[in-house]
Amino acid sequence: MSLLNVENVTHGFGARRILEDASFRLLKGEHIGLIGANGEGKSTFLNIITGALAPDEGKIEWSKRATVGYLDQSTSLRKGMTIREVLREAFQGMFDLEQEMLALYEDMATAADGLDEMMEDAGEIQHMLEHSGFYTLDAKIDEMANGLGLGSIGLEKDVSDLSGGQRTKVLLTKLLLQDPSILILDEPTNFLDYEQIEWLKKYLQEYENSFILVSHDMEFLNSVVNVIYHVNDGELTRYSGNYDKFQQMYAVKRNQEQKAFDRQQQEIERMEDFIARNKARVATRGMANSRQKMLDKIDILEKPRDKPKPSFAFKEARTPSRFIAEGKQVVLGYGEPLTRPVDFALERGQKIAVCGTNGLGKTTLLRTILNEISPVSGRVELGDFLVPAYYAQDEERDSSDTALESLWKEFPSYTNAEVRAALAKCGLTNEHITSQMKVLSGGENAKARLCKLMQRETNWLILDEPTNHLDVEAKAELKRSLMAFRGTVLLVCHEPDFYQDWITDVWNVEDWTLKII
């Protein structure tokens, strides 16, 4: 049974076509992975099917019985509500039924007639609540909250005090508790740690309903989907199987397209050569004209095009002192301590991965080492001749500057051509370069910000979740460039596959925390 039909959808921004005559269907029980390079239109497609964006052309038709749950990270959480109160909202319909039942019992105490009917209604509601597990909701909330790492934060914490990653976890947990017939998840692993990604993977593998998943974590995607839709050059193409199967079929498809293009080009060359040699001769002019008519009617195949691939390289500054940063009895936190007193030392040339559950102080550690914030107690001593370069999470997400303007502001001595060349080298097209930072996809925005770091000489890279939003090729190129960089690297990342084969050490903030995890 089809739960969603998308027919001939076309959509663009200005002169840029994002989707062109795209069609899509979601069947009951299908686990769909929506993939494509950064900026190809995945999030645009999700916005169209959820009604947040109207297509220029085409039709979207949902099954009347479908309930849709969408992980929308822009959803606001009201100050004054605890995490548990927000999660209990997932069962608001049941709480409304409970209030209706309690009102019936109150009315029965004073009713002169109609008692049997009221008793029957109350009994029916009671049965519905018991059958749906209403009286064990808190246990269910605790189980799912613990699986996604909210238990360590504390379910009685005010949601206004949460970090961006913690807030996303709350929204994801609430969405899963609602148990819709269709889940729509846009990069849900970006703010999850390894254990939580494993929990979500198992949950989705066993999920009986349908879902549409956007993710650049290919190992995660590969393990949970059974259908792939590939967004490329405005087209949506369906492939049965997981990501590995898609790669095999896509390679065959590309090879076939290239061979078909080459054959047609050879045939066109032969016809053009025949026409050129025979159109001037009276005896063969008719055949030449006939070949010209045939040539005019040929539907010319487009040459298969590869997307621009990013090329990352960090410029290296002078050699710093042996010790880059030393922490002595440092307690991390914002007013309230997050950790016990810890000592740490970062030496020249080391490449350190900082890992651990969200909310325990990974970003706080980076900002403390950089002297952006002060530790609760203890001190951090920096070495000499340091030239740090810091990549912060989701910086410039709301900037109205274009990618070109953003880079030019920091490097006003560059010519227009030099700015464009630098951005193009990072895999951005002319359309991306002239688009506002806030309307770029997460991956395009990340490439533009990484481009800035690459324009300055540095001997110390401090990177906070740089792989979030990057597509497969960009992630692989970033990994290569960090391996080639001869300076010091301090990296926060939730993807062990990205860093485990080139780092020199791991700092796990879970070993430092005061929280129970």
Domain boundaries, the chain: 1-77+163-303, 85-161, 323-397+444-511
CATH number of 323-397+444-511: 3.40.50.300
Q: Which residue is associated with the tokens 């950089």?
A: 370
**pLDDT tens per residue, range 307-351:** 778 999 999 999 999 999 999 999 998 878 888 999 999 999 999
CATH of domain 1-77+163-303: 3.40.50.300
Please indicate whether the domains covering 1-77+163-303 and 323-397+444-511 agree at the CATH topology level: yes
Q: Quote the pLDDT of residue 15.
A: 63
Which secondary structure element, helix H or strand E, spans residue 1, and what is its range?
none
3-state SS class at 146? helix
pLDDT recorded at residue 1 = 67
What values do phi and psi take at 3, rounded to 5? -95, -25
Task: Report pTM.
Answer: 0.77
- What confidence score (pLDDT) does residue 383 get? 94
Tokens of 59: 């039709």
**Nearest-angstrom CA–CA distance, 504 and 489:** 10
Do 395 and 449 contact (CB within 8 A), yes or no? yes
Cβ pair 29, 215 in contact under 8 A? no
342 phi/psi in degrees, rounded to 5: -130, 150
| Contact present, 104 and 122 (Cβ < 8 Å) | yes
Residue ranges for the chain with pLDDT beneath 50: none
- Asked if 47 and 1 count as a contact pair (C-beta separation under 8 A), the reply is no
Task: Give the pLDDT of residue 96.
Answer: 78
